[in-house]
Amino acid sequence: MADENQTTSAEEQALADEWAAALAESGDDDANQADIDAMLADTAKPAAPRAPMEEFAGGAAPSNSTLTNLEGPNLDVILDIPVSISMEVGNTDITIRNLLQLNQGSVIELDRLAGEPLDVLVNGTLIAHGEVVVVNEKFGIRLTDVISPSERIKKLR
């Protein structure tokens, strides 16, 4: 411990000597040891501690917050944000050679069986499974299994 104090004092003295030399070179005749000590004292002060950040989903919110209520955060602020929803019939891996040979009428074998449910993805995250239906001459999907919100949140972390 005494060695550390001596080393620190020697380092502080070396720094003070460097400051004194720099001030002497700058032509400031009024610089003295007290000024150097004051500068060192300012640089030696530790930074102010930072307050811990509160997590968005956890902990108690301030009582005057307008974004929370007894049931949790108010999600009205994000309800109008658009997201991309897609249905995945299946997928497969092919070589670039086979990709370049594809033309009209080519058949690509997928990794799913006929009649197996499709994946419903929102921004690339699985949220449900469903089956294809036709509604007013357009394709649609009937959801057969929806992933619970808690499971979806776990996948995001």
Residue 100 lies in a domain: yes
How many Å apart are CA 157 and CA 152, to the nearest integer? 9
Q: Domain with 139 in it: what CATH number?
A: 2.30.330.10
Tokens 């394709």, residue located:
139
Domain region containing 146: 76-156
Helix (H, G, I), strand (E, B) or coil at 20: helix
How far is residue 156 from each of residues 34, 74, 127, measured CA to CA in Å?
A: 57, 19, 12
Helix (H, G, I), strand (E, B) or coil at 107: coil
Residue 131 lies in a domain: yes
Block means of pLDDT (10 residues each) for the chain, length 157 residues?
56 76 61 62 54 51 49 77 89 93 92 89 88 90 89 74
pLDDT, residue 99, reads 92
Which helix or strand (DSSP H or E) is residue 44 part of? helix 33-44
Residue 149 lies in a domain: yes
Q: Position 105: which residue type?
A: G
Say what the pTM is.
0.45
Residue 65 lies in a domain: no
Q: Provide the number of structural domains found in the chain.
A: 1
